[in-house]
């Protein structure tokens, strides 16, 4: 055990010296994840997942009142997300958040230091849509944080989680950091989980750019779902 | 021939009948309590028969007790997990993916104490078997056995596949309580500073093991004539004995178990290599040099706690040393006036400087008592650039430009930490 620890220690030390600090695993696949969803999928969590940080910055550029940016902005993101998902998966079922949020919040390990947090259905209890059907796979969107110059390790690496940038500088990028789990609803197991990060360079920022950010995010989710398949 | 074929077929059938997916290190208690958990309530075995099978298959199991785990079979949380588990148990799936996530289920597993849960669920033509204990929320062992309406044969199959291991004495309530509050023996923090002091014996020689003799023979075979003359004077081993035991005293410390420093002192007594054919030595009773080495080593080490009572610390050391030679010479009784050569005999430098390099290991028993093994190479030399002395005429007085030897040593140490 100690030998293993010391190997880890040396590995860590070598990593520190050679500067391979960015060697996180941002995705995790279940050994039984053999086929990416195709044609149909259910999605849940989109009612409450979206969060816009730096609301006044966004309010000014998107020309939405500062006190309604959270509501209107996230509603926009949600509808774009849904539209994009529908384009990608013809048969899209949107489950209300409450189907999943009634389960306790848990953490899911992706890497030694990366844990995502979210509601995960109980073992033995399938999620059902309002009509009572059991969709075979469900994409659970845990969090979708929109801000400027965000880095996912500052949100998900527990060693860096208290890092806050001291001074607000002129932002370079609008970023989205989001976590999700592809849930095998028939066998109630997490097939694939990931944390993604998107950086969108700022020139002028309008609502179309925010739309584009969500479109990029959905594309990346789909790409990851395909790449995460265990061969 | 036919009979043999039938026997072989039976063997083959028996071999295929059960399959273990994984079986990690779990404790099978002597006089164990086996709780049979069948999520749907229809136990494929008979509790009493299972106990008899266990006793037949494992003589060390003592007097086991078996019963159905009704409280889990009636509980909805356990039922859901049981069904989920049965659905998810697959060959090749690591047990971590079968962990019980529900807090209620986790609590149930944690409060099992020293009872063993035997999970049984029908799965096609097989029966899924899994074993849970209190230590983790995932199964410790799992696999399948062939379904059999003969409950005795099925029990035998389960017992032979999963309970064929050494048993341990079951602990009493007090012992369990004590075990739970005991700190982990192998868990410890690396001390900031570890100090040791020791005394050792060793042996050094000029000839390196596994190297050809002729590499060093010009030094080792050299003899001193006329109190001072040798073939060359590069190495001290041309003058004094090149293979001698030594005594050492040393003390050191390591910082955070990694980098250390060590002070050492060594003493050895070296006889002069006199040429016995030289009649001039008839007047001489003895001629030795006491060699005193004082040195400082830098250490790199790493400690491995092998057992609660033994730590092993391999180490690498690199250091420097100063060597002093103290002459002890005496003429035979009755020799009133020594020869002229005696007065112009060889003298050693006041001090020789050198380096040491080597590897070793400290074996520390019960945190304090250590045995230390070392092996290495050391050198001694003198300053090459010296102001010429007006007395330099009577050569060779300045000797030992470069002297190298190897050594091994064994020491006993006392260790303590700050």
Q: What is this model's ipTM? A: 0.83
What mean pLDDT, rounded, does chain A reach?
87
Report the gap between the CA of A231 and the closest CA in chain B (Å).
14
The residues in B 276-305 lying below 8 A from A, measured between CB atoms, are 302, 304-305
Amino acid B397: pLDDT: 53
Percentage of chain B surpassing pLDDT 70? 91
Distance from C-alpha of A221 to C-alpha of A180, rounded to nearest angstrom:
9
Closest partner residue to A125 among B80, B92, B302, by Cβ? B80
Amino acid B104: pLDDT: 92
Inter-helix orientation angle A207-227/A69-88, to 10°: 40
The string of pLDDT tens digits covering residues B311-362 is: 999 999 999 999 999 999 999 998 888 888 888 888 888 899 999 999 999 9
Distance from C-alpha of B189 to C-alpha of B14, rounded to nearest angstrom:
50
Contact B97 A30 (CB under 8 A): yes
The string of pLDDT tens digits covering residues B265-322 is: 999 999 999 998 988 999 999 999 999 999 999 999 998 888 888 999 999 999 999 9
- A105 touching B, CB under 8 A? no
Measured CA to CA in angstroms, residue B7 lies from B1, B12, B149, B150 at distances of 10, 9, 22, 20
Report the gap between the CA of A88 and the closest CA in chain B (Å).
29
CA-derived radius of gyration, chain B: 37
Report the gap between the CA of B254 and the closest CA in chain A (Å).
17
Q: What is the mean pLDDT of residues B183-207?
A: 86
Helix (H) or strand (E) holding B7: helix B2-17
Closest partner residue to A123 among B81, B90, B302, by Cβ? B81
Contact B102 A122 (CB under 8 A): yes
Residues lower than pLDDT 50 in chain A? 1-2, 8, 11-12, 15-21
Confidence check: pLDDT of B208 > 80: yes
Amino acid A16: pLDDT: 46
- The answer to whether B376 and B329 are in contact (CB under 8 A) is no
């Amino acid at each position: 055990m100690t030998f293993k620890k010391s190997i880890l220690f040396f590995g860590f030390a070598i990593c520190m010296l050679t500067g391979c600090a960015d060697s996180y695993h941002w995705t995790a696949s279940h050994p039984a994840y053999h086929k990416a969803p195709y044609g149909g999928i259910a999605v849940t969590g989109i009612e409450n997942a979206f969060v816009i940080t730096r609301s006044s910055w966004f309010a000014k550029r998107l020309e939405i009142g500062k006190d309604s940016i959270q509501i209107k902005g996230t509603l926009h993101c949600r509808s774009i997300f849904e539209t994009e998902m529908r384009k990608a998966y013809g048969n899209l079922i949107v489950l209300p958040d409450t189907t999943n949020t009634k389960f306790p919040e848990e953490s899911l390990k992706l890497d030694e230091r990366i844990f995502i947090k979210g509601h995960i259905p109980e073992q033995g209890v399938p999620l059902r849509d309002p009509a009572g059907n059991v969709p075979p796979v469900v994409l659970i969107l845990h969090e979708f944080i929109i801000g400027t110059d965000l880095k996912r390790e500052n949100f998900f690496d527990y060693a860096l989680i208290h890092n806050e940038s001291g001074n607000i500088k002129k932002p370079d990028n609008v970023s989205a950091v989001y976590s999700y789990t592809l849930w095998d609803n028939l066998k109630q197991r997490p097939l694939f989980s990931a944390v993604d990060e998107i950086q969108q360079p700022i020139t002028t920022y309008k609502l179309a750019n925010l739309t584009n950010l969500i479109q990029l995010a959905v594309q990346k989710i789909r790409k990851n779902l395909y790449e995460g398949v265990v061969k | 021939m036919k009979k043999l074929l039938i026997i072989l077929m039976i063997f083959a059938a028996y071999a295929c009948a059960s399959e273990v997916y994984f079986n990690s290190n779990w404790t099978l208690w002597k006089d164990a309590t086996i709780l049979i958990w069948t999520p749907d309530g229809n136990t494929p075995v008979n509790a009493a028969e299972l106990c008899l099978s266990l006793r037949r298959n494992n003589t060390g199991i003592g007097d086991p007790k078996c019963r159905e785990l009704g409280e889990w079979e009636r509980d909805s949380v356990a039922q859901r997990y049981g069904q989920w588990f049965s659905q998810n148990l697959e060959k090749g799936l690591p047990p971590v993916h079968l962990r019980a996530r529900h807090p209620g289920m986790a609590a149930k597993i944690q409060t099992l104490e020293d009872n063993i849960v035997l999970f049984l669920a029908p799965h096609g033509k097989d029966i899924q078997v899994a074993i849970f204990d209190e230590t983790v929320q995932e199964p410790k062992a799992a696999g399948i056995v062939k379904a059999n309406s003969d409950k005795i044969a099925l029990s035998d199959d389960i017992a032979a596949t999963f309970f064929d291991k050494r048993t341990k004495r079951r602990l009493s309530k007090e012992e369990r309580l004590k075990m739970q509050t005991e700190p982990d023996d192998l868990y410890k923090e690396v001390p900031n500073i570890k100090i040791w002091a020791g005394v050792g014996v060793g042996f050094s020689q000029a000839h390196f093991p596994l190297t050809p003799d002729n590499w060093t023979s010009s030094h080792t075979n050299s003899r001193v004539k006329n109190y001072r003359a040798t073939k060359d004077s590069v190495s001290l081993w041309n003058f004094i004995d090149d293979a001698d035991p030594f005594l050492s005293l040393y003390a050191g410390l390591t910082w955070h178990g990694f980098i250390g420093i060590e002070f050492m002192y060594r003493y050895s007594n070296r006889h002069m290599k006199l040429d016995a054919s030289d009649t001039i030595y008839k007047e001489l009773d003895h001629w030795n040099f006491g060699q005193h080495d004082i040195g400082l080593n830098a250490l790199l080490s790493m400690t491995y706690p092998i057992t609660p009572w033994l730590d092993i610390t391999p180490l690498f050391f690199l250091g420097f040393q100063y060597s002093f030679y103290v002459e002890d010479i005496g003429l035979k009784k009755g020799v009133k006036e020594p020869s002229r050569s005696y007065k112009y005999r060889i003298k050693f430098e006041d001090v020789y400087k050198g380096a040491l390099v080597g590897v070793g290991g400290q074996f520390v028993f019960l945190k304090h008592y250590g045995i230390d093994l070392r092996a290495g190479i050391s050198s001694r030399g003198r300053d090459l650039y010296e102001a010429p002395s007006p007395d330099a005429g009577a050569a060779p007085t300045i000797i030992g430009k470069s002297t190298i030897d190897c050594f091994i040593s064994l020491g006993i140490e006392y260790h303590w930490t700050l």
